[in-house]
Amino acid sequence: MKTGKITKIIAIGVLSLWGMLLPTEAYSTSRIKDIADFEGIRDNQLVGYGMVVGLNGTGDNIKSINFAKEGLMSLLDNVGINSRDGQIKSKNIAAVMVTANLPAFGRQGSRIDVTVSALGDAKSLQGGTLIATPLFGANGEVYAVAQGQIAVGGFNASGNNQSVTKGVPTSGRIANGAIIENEVDFSLNEMKNIRLALRNPDFTTSRRVAAAINALLGEDIAKSIDPSTITVEIPALYKNDIAGLMTKIEQLQVQPDQIARVVIDENSGIVVIGKDVKINKLAIAQGSLTIKISEIPFVSQPIPFGQGETIVDTMTDINVEEGNESKLSILETGVNLQELVNGLNALGVSPRDLISILQAVKASGALQAEIEVI
């Protein structure tokens, strides 16, 4: 290879590396399908009451769980067995609630996953089989029927003096455990317009989504009507291809906007600070005051052959220490996220102290952000 070509390759590599090291402002964009939902296209929640059989003595105590006993007798009645005059003592059955999500455009005959959870005092559903259970929607209609072997992630083992439980053995799943019997009536081709609902409502994001759709279609047909809703009139070209129009819309890239927010979890000490958080000029001092109290026992005895009695007492030592490494830091107006974190780290601030400092800064009016405590 010639020297000139080698020099050129080295120069290109150096320029590329230099470009990566230059400070740049990162603008993150997201697909519309990741920040918004099409109204009317959503899951529907289903629920049902059923019985699990085949447990190895880990089921409900039907003497104390009356609804488990009634459920078992109803199950036996359905198969032509009259057990209401007898005494039932089985511990191999459990009353359960069965839940599932019916996806949008779920068709009759297709399968969905179900979750099975114990209702009574069953210790484990491991090894159990769910008997055919109808699943109802919010309108009281049956949309699916669930049945099958339950897969449980946890277990429960016990002996005479000790027991071990891992995970939640009273809850499990059945993959493809329900068959859809009824469909939700919804037709795309009957829609007069399309409405998008933002998952995080924001005026700026809503306007950007509408602008991106108008730029794609070359028409002013998308409008932002509130912080969470964008309505789109269906162009004549897509009257019979609304699914194709939705596909193009959901793949558009938009930069979501958000308000400056600081999220604080006081239980775990976690602090999350948004990139647009700003503070006005202020001084922060972070110090510590430690009070240590020590109790030292001692015994006082009388002199030999003298009068008196032995006394047991304690000597109290109180030591007060104030941190000598306390610092006063001045933060300039318009400090961004990185500078704020660097300044607080320079003070040696712990996450717990950081929570108190941020709350105090917010109370002073210098923090231009919303604080949310969870």
Task: Give 11-21 pLDDT, tens digit per residue.
Answer: 344 334 334 33
The answer to whether 286 and 328 are in contact (CB under 8 A) is no
Cα 71 to the center of its chain, rounded Å: 35
The answer to whether 262 and 272 are in contact (CB under 8 A) is yes
As a residue count, the chain comes to: 374
- Based on the number of CB atoms within 10 Å of its own CB, is 361 exposed (0-12), middle (13-18) or buried (19 or more)? buried
Tell me the pTM: 0.63
Of residues 345 and 30, which shows the higher confidence score? 30
Question: Per mean pLDDT, which range of 117-131, 179-193, 202-216, 272-286 is the poorest?
Answer: 272-286
Cross-strand bridge partners of residue 271 = 264
Q: Which two tokens stand for residue 216?
A: 């794609």
Q: Which residues, 6 or more positions from 366, have their beta carbon under 8 angstroms from its beta carbon?
A: 279, 280, 281, 282
Mean pLDDT, range 73-101, rounded to an integer? 81
**pLDDT score of 179:** 97
**pLDDT score of 335:** 60
The answer to whether 50 and 125 are in contact (CB under 8 A) is no
Helix (H, G, I), strand (E, B) or coil at 154: coil
User: Which of 126, 55, 51, 129 has the alpha carbon at shortest distance from 90?
Assistant: 55
User: Which of 345, 341, 334, 342 has the alpha carbon at shortest distance from 368?
Assistant: 334
**Which string of b and e fits 9-47 if b means at least 16 CB within 10 Å?**
eeeeeeeeeeeeeeeeeeeeeeebeebbebeeeeeeebe
The answer to whether 220 and 214 are in contact (CB under 8 A) is yes
Q: Which two tokens stand for residue 305?
A: 């052959």
Mean pLDDT, range 230-251, rounded to an integer? 91
Work out the pLDDT band at 299, boundaries 50, 70, 90: low
User: Which of 37, 34, 32, 38 has the alpha carbon at shortest distance from 208?
Assistant: 32
Sketch out the chain's domains with CATH numbers.
Answer: 44-180 (no CATH), 188-254 (3.30.70), 262-373 (no CATH)
The DSSP output letter for 256 is -
The answer to whether 254 and 32 are in contact (CB under 8 A) is yes
Cα separation, 249 vs 300, in Å, equals 88
Residue whose token pair is 């090894």 = 127
Cα separation, 167 vs 152, in Å, equals 9
The answer to whether 281 and 333 are in contact (CB under 8 A) is yes
- Residues 21-30 have pLDDT tens digits of 334 444 578 9
Residue whose token pair is 């009957």 = 190
- Residues 309-331 have pLDDT tens digits of 666 665 655 454 545 555 545 55
Q: Which two tokens stand for residue 141?
A: 């209609």
Average pLDDT over the chain, rounded to an integer: 78
In the sheet that holds 370-373, the strands lie side by side as 270-273, 261-265, 370-373
Q: Which residues, 6 or more positions from 44, have their beta carbon under 8 angstroms from its beta carbon?
A: 101, 102, 137, 138, 143, 184
**pLDDT score of 102:** 94
Work out the pLDDT band at 85, boundaries 50, 70, 90: low
Helix (H, G, I), strand (E, B) or coil at 114: strand
Secondary structure, 3-state, 19-39 = HHHCCCCCCCCEEHHHHEEEC
